[in-house]
Structure 1
Amino acid sequence: MKILRNLLILLFSLSLATPGFSFLHSKGAKIVDSNGNEVFLKGLGLGGWLVPEGYMLHIPGYGSPSAIRRKIQALIGTEAAEEFFSRYRANYVNRKDIEKIASWGFNSIRLPFNYRLLSPEDQPGVFLESGFQLLDRVVQWCKENHLYLILDMHCAPGGQNKDNISDSDGKEARLWTDPANQDRTVEIWTKIAERYADEEWIGGYDLLNEPVLPAGFPNTRLRAFYMRLSQAIRKVDPNHLLFIEGNWYATDFRDLTPPFDTNMAYSFHKYWKPVTQESIQSYLKIRNNYRVPLWLGESGENSNPWFHETVSLMEKNDIGWCWWTYKKVASITSPYSAPLKPAYQRILKYWQGQAP
């Protein structure tokens, strides 16, 4: 129980203690409201909350959500681990965090989620009301604070890439090699769209975070799956904007044009590369050729000068942006940084093999 207490110290440090709307849609190359007024998205991603990542928490090893869960289960047992993660979700982000983001002048939030939040692994057709109720709460907090909420499937069944960020097994992006995983992804997005079809404070659906197709798979496979997803969603939800990310971590849009839905935007990600007009020229060409909006759905993890230059470049080119990420532990690259408490440091040293 002492170990659990030390883990809970992390939770308390993560908790931030501080005291006529319409659907967004695409109109030509802009994102607008129902009156045709352009909405320039300026947002923060809530990474690390519903999709814990090892580097954000300083946890060594393959830092996927499932790997982190197994580490904690091995440390304190399954029952205590469930208590930990319940408190983790309650503390990492709450209403006060959303209020703080709004007070800083942002107008949108991108919410990464793991499909397991909404549907148990290996149980097609089964859905978790507790997960949907959590999303409901976030929608309500955003509504109270006039923030658009963009739902981001960060971890699709099987993994849309083979990295820890998609909660894959680290060997293969099985979303693309197992048709059953594609069926489940369609099933889950359809359920989401059914539930939130009339929710105006949801700014859109980010269908897949940073897909990476296996070697030998052409981008046409990605396009075909996006088309299948969009068609399924449109049967139950004609309202919401669809954000479409390119292959290779949202950078490669070959064969994803022309647009295949009348209410969509292309979302690219940008990390570490030079901040030049040339670096985004291929995306601007898509916008100019097809009159479809662009959105920088994820960027960050760099220096303050790089941040400033990137935002300036986006705003110069009329591209909305969303920063990654709002909160981490002991970091200078996020707006909010939770302290690394001594008790939690002891656990980290144990995991690193530096303590008994």
Structure 2
Amino acid sequence: MKRILPITILFIFLCQLAQSQYLHREGKYIVDGEGQLFQIRSMGLGGWMLQEGYMLGTGGFAGTQHEIRALMEAAMGQERTDEFYDAWLANHCTKTDIDSLAAWGFNAVRPALHYNLFTLPIEEEPVPGQDTWLDEGFQMVDELLEWCRAHEMYVILDLHAAPGGQGKNADISDYDASKPSLWESEENKRKTVALWRKLAERYANEKYIGGYDLINETNWSFTGTHPNGCDSSNEPLRELMVRITEAIREVDQNHLVFIEGNCWANNMTGMFPPWDDNLAYSFHKYWNGTDKNTISEFLGWREQYNVPIWMGESGENANQWFYETISMLESQQVGWSWWPMKKIGSVVGPLTAVRTPEYAQLLDTWRNGGTPDPDFCYQTLMQITENLMIENCTYQPDVIDAMFRQQTDDTGKPYKKHEIPGVIAAPDFDLGRHGATYFDKDFINSTGNAGGAAWNQGHSYRNDGVDIEPCSDESPLGNGYNVGWMESGEWMEYTVEVKETAAYRVTVRVAGTAGTGKFHLAVNGKNVTGTVAAKATTGNQNWTDVTVAQVILEKGRQTIRLVVEQGGFNLNYMQFSDPEPTGSVPGKATNGYASPTGSAIYLAANKSFDQSVTPEAQDFRLKVNGFLEGIDELTYDTDDPGKLVLGLKKN
């Protein structure tokens, strides 16, 4: 016994030494091989190895992958359908995608695995109770790992679709209610355990495997009345998680195991205390508030059980929500993973696959119960697989800006290069936080459900709160989109480079039937146009010009803000043209406003005042609510030579 004890201690020490080379648990935090706190910043690769109907636009009639595939096979046959899926898997995630994620700031990816890329369904096994292993899924993970390793990025394996499916929300796991679920079949459970053991055996010594996310978003009622298990006790879930963990530890002592609860990951009843020394708990966060209180329960468990927590999936919201949520999570040393990298015809992720008119037609045919022409179906779907390649996707810089730059920088950044003379498309306002580069009445969804609030009424072009829609204006000067649904008090800012100091003709392209819209332009905070009325047109896409002459702009970088004084119109673009010398422009007051304390009135003019002339109070009369007010003194504003300060007499 005296000889065995040191050997046992040495074995434990060697295991701990090996584990320290990987992401691992150290107390209540996840640390890297150097023992430093590792802030996971991950992107979920949802839609690649597992299709969910809402990402493809089929959610209303074919939510699950097996339903989507059945439609395709009925329309164009199995051979062409296989060809489509081969192209989908090849193009959806490539080395260039991973290179881009690394360049944007992500240090991990979370691929959503469908078990059927790795093994056969139990119904198709030639020998019941045995496992047929498929090369395709393992080779895809191998290749993904190679791409990530080059950037020292981690791959967190996420079993998104377990054998049989793990939830009544069928789209998430490709659950087929006509077959036994994961929870209704001991054989599906056994296959799930075997799959994880196979994965762990293959990747046991891979440093850049970040961990194993055992079962994604179980939503099953084991007990209770909620159909998705939100009030359920979770003994079967815990039991299976323990079985999987034990199978992993038979072949892999190195990697983190991530545990999700029931009710889309967040019902942790019965999931504590932890049963493994290298384990972390994962919660998901959608459509709720962005303050610390929204995760207080998980923070409490972190403290109580001295175990790490990870926000393993979030997204599907406005850029401002992204900024606020990530900021809050990182302030609490909680890592995160966003969802998803790509969808078809959507602006909520960093990459958008173009939704073609033909694809929209195909979806309409299926939605209405029709069967499309086989050749049309094939050609349309193969074009979508081409559109999935990152080189053909639309990059959404506003999403990435909110997730990374805005975390430490509260200033604006040009969305596009704007020069004057020139045209500024209304949707091309600066990148930045809400309240810094734009202000919109509806800019976030924190209602608790997916459709609870539309932060962008048009859901086009950008993912900020400003409401943007496709534009049908015949004028070639716009960018194909316009700002709509504008309300009083909303505004957008544009950083511009003015080529020369001059008085410019400003043409603003507007549409709307109300005829009550009003706006003004402010440069570096100063109203330079006065109130401008938006003309009424015969429709919200029937456009006309509103012109403001002799607007003086100084040479250099300036910030122009368009302020909606009264809503009821759409905006396409602003054109700045016909520069003329400022000396030929008569001076005039553009607007006046009270100081915050009400002790003074600021009078702004379109030109700088001659400060060699001393203004006299008796030259001005100020009437407030029909009564004359006394002016104590007149001075020039120290920051703006085109502004007078009228100091009011104290009563």
Q: TM-score, normalised by structure 1?
A: 0.91
Q: What does 1:243-262 align with in structure 2 at a 5 Å threshold?
A: 243-262=258-277
1:152 Cα deviation after fit: 0.3
Distance 1:215 1:257, change over 3 A: closer
Q: Secondary structure at the match of 1:26?
A: strand
Distance, in Å, in 1 between the alignment partners of 2:92 and 2:312 is 21
Q: Summarize deviations over 1:201-228 as a string: whole Å, max 9, x none.
A: 1100000000123242631221111111
**Structure-2 change in CA distance of 1:283 and 1:173 (3 Å):** farther
What is the correspondence of 1:58-77 to structure 2 with a 5 Å cutoff? 58-59=57-58, 60-77=60-77
Which residue in the other structure is 2:141 paired with? 135
2:477 matched to which residue of 1? none
Measure, in 2, the Cα distance between the counterparts of 1:173 and 1:250.
21
Contact kept? 1:211, 1:248, Cα under 8 Å: yes
Equivalent residue for 2:195, pick from 173, 188, 192: 188
Residue identity matched to 1:206: D
Does residue 207 in structure 1 map to residue 214 in structure 2?
A: yes
The alignment yields a C-alpha RMSD, in angstroms, of 1.6
Counterparts of 1:112-127 in structure 2, within 5 Å, are 112-122=112-122, 123=125, 124-127=130-133
Structure 2 unaligned spans of 5+ = 1-19, 224-231, 373-651
Shift of residue 343, structure 1, vs aligned partner:
2.2
**Aligned residues of 1:251 and 1:268 also touching (Cα < 8 A):** yes
Whether 1:43 aligns to 2:42 is: yes
Say which SS state the counterpart of residue 336 (structure 2) adopts: strand
CA distance in 1, matches of 2:131, 2:329: 41
Residue 98 of structure 2 aligns with which residue? 98
- Tell me the secondary structure at the aligned position of residue 156 of structure 2: strand
Deviations 1:145-171 (A, max 9, x none): 221000000000111112221110147
Determine helix, strand or coil for the equivalent of 2:287.
Answer: coil
> Helix, strand or coil for the counterpart of 1:158?
coil
Match of 2:315 in 1: 300
Counting matched residue pairs gives 336
Aligned sequence identity (%) = 43
State the distance in 1 between where 2:159 and 2:365 align.
32
Note if contact 2:273-2:305 (Cα within 8 Å) is conserved in structure 1. Answer: yes
With CA pairs under 8 Å and 6+ residues apart, which has the higher RCO, 1 or 2?
1
Q: What is the CA-CA distance between 1:42 and the residue it aligns to?
A: 0.5
Deviations 1:168-192 (A, max 9, x none): 0147872112111110100111111
In structure 2, distance between residues paired with 1:43 and 1:22: 20
Alignment of 1:1-356 (within 5 A): 22-59=21-58, 60-122=60-122, 123=125, 124-162=130-168, 163-170=170-177, 174-216=181-223, 218-353=233-368
Structure (1 or 2) with the greater helix fraction = 1
- Structure ranking higher in strand proportion: 2
Unaligned stretches of 5+ residues in structure 1? 1-20
Distance 2:360 2:238 in 1: 45
- Residue 165 of structure 2 aligns with an amino acid whose one-letter code is G
- AA of the residue aligned to 1:204: G
Question: For residue 157 of structure 2, what is the amino acid of its counterpart?
Answer: L
**CA distance in 2: counterparts of 1:289 and 1:214, whole angstroms:** 27
Aligned AA (2:164): G
Runs of 4+ in 1 over 3 A off after TM superposition: 170-173
| In structure 1, distance between residues paired with 2:67 and 2:153 | 32
* Residues 47, 325 of structure 1: 8 Å contact kept: yes
Name the SS for the 2:296 alignment partner. Answer: helix
From the CA coordinates, give the structure whose radius of gyration is larger. Answer: 2
For 2:533, the equivalent position in structure 1 comes to none
Distance in 2, matches of 1:75 and 1:172, equals: 24
Separation of aligned partners in 2, 1:187 and 1:127: 10
